[in-house]
Each structure stands twice: as C-alpha cells, then as structure tokens.
Amino acid sequence: ATTLPSDVVLYLLFPVHGAAWGITLAEAGILLAANRLVRIAGYGWVARLYARYGDRRVCTLAVAAAAVGALGNATLGGFWLLLPLRLLWGMAFAALNLSTQVLATSSVAGASARSGRSRAFIALGPVIALPVAAALSALAGPRWVLGALSLV
C-alpha cells in the first residue's frame, strides 16, 4: 500500500507533466510500459529468488528498490535515467505481488478471504494517492508530489 502510489501517480504525472522530467509523450508511454514488460521476463527470476531467500529478505529488498525508484523519479530526469528506475520498479512490484499471493494462499482455509483483504489493503494507497497527487501537482508541482511519496 505504501510502495504502489509512487508508481500509480506516474500514470497521471508523466503524460501531463512530462516536460518536468524532460521526456516526450512517446517516451512517457514507453517508460510507463517498461515496468510491465520487464515483469514478463522477470517473474521467473523473482520466483527463484523468493524460493531461495524467503519472504522477508525479498520483500525488504523490493521495498528498498521501490523507495530508490520513487526517489529517483522525484529527482532525476531524462528518458535514459528514468528507464532503469522503471525496470527496477517492475521487478520490485513482481516480488511484492508474488509475496502477497503466496502469503494469502499459504493455507487453503480462508485463502480467498485473505487474498481479498490483501488486495483491498494494497489498493488503498493508490485510491488515496491519485486524487491527492492530482491536486498537489497543480499547487506544488509534479516533482514535489513524487518527492513526498518517496518519503512514505
């Protein structure tokens, strides 16, 4: 719930305020798609990492990577500097997503309820962040919004 908003608000901010990062609309589209594309190739790697090191280590690493990505998105600009951050976020999301699915379904009894509660909790971050980010970006600027989210 705390890592997802820094990604979700990019779908609002990059197309509208791309100039603040020195990117075109086409580059914004590529950047926004990059995290999904890397997951196609990366889920197998993440699953092996998860199996080897366990939930705690992988989630800690994923949250740290998400924080680095959020801070980088707030401070860096240009397509080639932002692209590695989007790829890093894609792998962090893959690890966090795998973890929530594994933990929610680790026991058959109550798995669907745990999965539903987990997804609802995860969705709270973006639900709150999107309208707040839209309003604050108009007042304080888009980079400020991402800077604030990187501290969460």
Q: What is the pLDDT along the chain (152 residues), one digit of tens a residue?
A: 667 888 999 999 999 999 999 999 999 999 999 998 998 888 899 999 999 999 899 999 999 999 899 899 999 999 999 999 999 999 999 999 888 888 777 888 888 888 888 888 888 888 888 898 999 988 988 888 888 877 76
Reduced to 3 states (helix: H, G, I; strand: E, B; else coil), residue 109 is coil
pTM of the model: 0.87
Q: Where are the alpha helices (DSSP H) in the chain?
A: 4-8, 10-17, 25-75, 79-104, 111-140, 142-150
CA 91-41-12 angle, 5° bins: 50
Say which CATH architecture domain 4-150 belongs to.
Up-down Bundle (1.20)
